[in-house]
Each structure stands twice: as structure tokens, then as C-alpha cells.
Amino acid sequence: MLIFVSILLISRKKNLLIENLALRQQLAIMKQHVKRPKIRIRDRIFWVFLSRVWKDWKNVLIVVKPETVIRWHRKGFKLFWTFKSRKRSAGRPSIAPEIRKLIQDMASANPLWGAPRIHGELTKLGIDVHERTVSNIIKRIRPRKPPSQTWRTFLGNHMFNTFAIDFFVVPTARFQVLYVLVIIWHETRQVVHFNVTRHPTAMWTAQQIVEACPWNTLPKYLLRDRDGIYGKCFQSRIKNMGILEVKTAPRSPWQNAYVERLIGSIRRDCLDHIIVLNEGHLKRILTEYLEYYHQDRTHLGIGKETPAGRSVLEKPENGKLIALPRLGGLHHRYEWEDAA
């Protein structure tokens, strides 16, 4: 009996000491000469520790709510495991700072370029970097944009020796409408012919086919839509030249995807950023753009190659990278220049 009483007294004394310690700690907080006592880091640690060793800690807590102490504990738990799980060893090899800066400079100087275009340019410079890495870098310096439209192909495999033809319109500064005819070769994505007119006719369109297709370079197929501009005069000229017409279904532009993609590129890369003055001005602009399109611009559909072919450059010793402006600086071509 005596032993039981001694244990009970010791237990009560222990609780009394802990309660006294808790109250003294809160008094120390209240003694600070501020309107609202500041809860310091050591105060938080004290109450988090006390909540783990004393079951009656809520009864003496005054300065904050018990839920606050629980929140401190959870926050400390999160910080602790964030520290424990921090990255200690290297994962993937990091990209060199100069290459990262080059990608950022290309993305800034060419706001119309996406990751595939920049990656194609880097490939031609002999810089080995993954396209996903390029995408991750440019995401941080550009606002998020909605995904671009996609095209369905007319055939699973493109037809060999096939040309495609189509018109698109361009407004001028005087609100006139100019019609642009483009003819593209499917296999290489080369624009074999283009012309501009204010008054397109079937006879004029038929003459453009003759100019685009000399007798020694005739295609086997000509893919087109069902526009009324391709009248009897046009159809008769095509038949006499020995070319087989392939017509797409009504209101199905995706079946002529290559030329539609070309027109979209011309608009996004060039015409959407230029005010056309007249017919001569439009011809000059399109001539300059198509030179860039054939010689410099890499294409996703042909393995990030250019239609006219472009060699991969090796970086010379102490070489300096130079940017060659195209279309007045709207686009650029990058090459190495020997510093020597």
C-alpha cells in the first residue's frame, strides 16, 4: 500500500512539474514587449516535443490553438522528409550552359519556332541534344500555347512522283484580294512553282501547270480539290500532258495535307507578320521565303532535313556561332565561323 501511494505521489508530482514548465514557457512568450507575441522556432519545437511526451498538453496551452501545434508538427515532418529525400547524386548528364543559352537565344530570336525546328537547327550545327531537352528549356521562357492543329494524311504512305496544287488568298494594305497558286512535290516537299494573280481563271491555272512541269519532269499524279477554278480547260491540259488527276472528297482539306501544311507554314512563318502592299511585293516576299524554305528550314516530315539538302557542320576549333537573318530577321540560319 505504501509503495502504491509513493508511486501515485511521484506521478502527480511529475505532471505538476511538466505543467509548471509549460506555463512558465508561455509566460516567457507573453513577456515580450510586442502587441502580438512572436512565436519563435524554438517555441514551436518545444510544443511539438511536449505534445509527443505529455498527454495533457492541450489543457495548459493558451497562446495558440492545439490545431496550430499539430500543423507545426506536420510541417516539420514534411521539411524533414524533403531534406532526407533530396537529390544526392547526379542523374542524367546536365546540358552545358553554353548550349542551354544557345537554345534560349534561338527561341527568343525566332518566336515562331518550336522544339522540333530548333532541334533540327542544332542537328545541322553538329550539336547532340535530345528534342525533349530543347522542349523543356523553351517552355520556361515562353508562355504556354495551345497545341497546333494536326492534319490527316490522304494516304498511309505518300504517293511517289506526286504533285499537289492549291490556292490561297492574301489581303493587301488596300483591302484587295490576291490569289496565290502553289504546287508542291510530295516526295521532297519542294515548291516546284508558285504565282500570284488578282483574277485567276482555268486557262491561267492550266498555263501554270505547263510552267511548273517541263516534259522531262512530269509527275504521274496531280492531287487537287474540287474547286471550280479547275475547269474544262485545265482538265483538258492535264490530260494531254499525261498526268492523272486525283480529286479529294468535298470539304476534306486533310486529304491534300502536304499542300495544306505548306500554306499553313507560309502564313504562320511569313504572311501573318507582314502587311502586303501589292502583287509585286507579295511575289518578292514569297520568293525570299521559299528560298529560306528550301535551303534553311528543317522539316519534320522529311527527318528534319531541308528540301534542297543541307549538310551537317562540324564545330571548328575556337569556332564562333553566327546567325544569318532571313526575311529581315523574322527567321535565322545558324552556322559556325572559324575564329582564326
- Write out pLDDT tens, residues 27-63: 667 656 556 667 777 777 777 777 777 777 776 666 6
pLDDT per position as a tens digit, 56-83:
777 666 666 777 777 777 887 788 778 7
User: 181: which 3 cell numbers?
Assistant: 497558286
Q: What pLDDT was estimated at residue 154? A: 46
Q: What is the pTM of this model?
A: 0.59
Q: Which amino acid is at 226?
A: R
Q: What pLDDT was estimated at residue 225? A: 92
Q: What pLDDT was estimated at residue 172? A: 93
Confidence of residue 3 (pLDDT cuts 50, 70, 90): very low
Question: Mean pLDDT, the chain, as a whole number?
Answer: 81
Which range (37-41, 122-126, 148-152, 284-288) has the least confidence? Answer: 148-152
In the chain, what are the domains?
Answer: 2-84 (no CATH), 97-145+317-337 (no CATH), 162-302 (3.30.420.10)
Q: What pLDDT was estimated at residue 235? A: 92
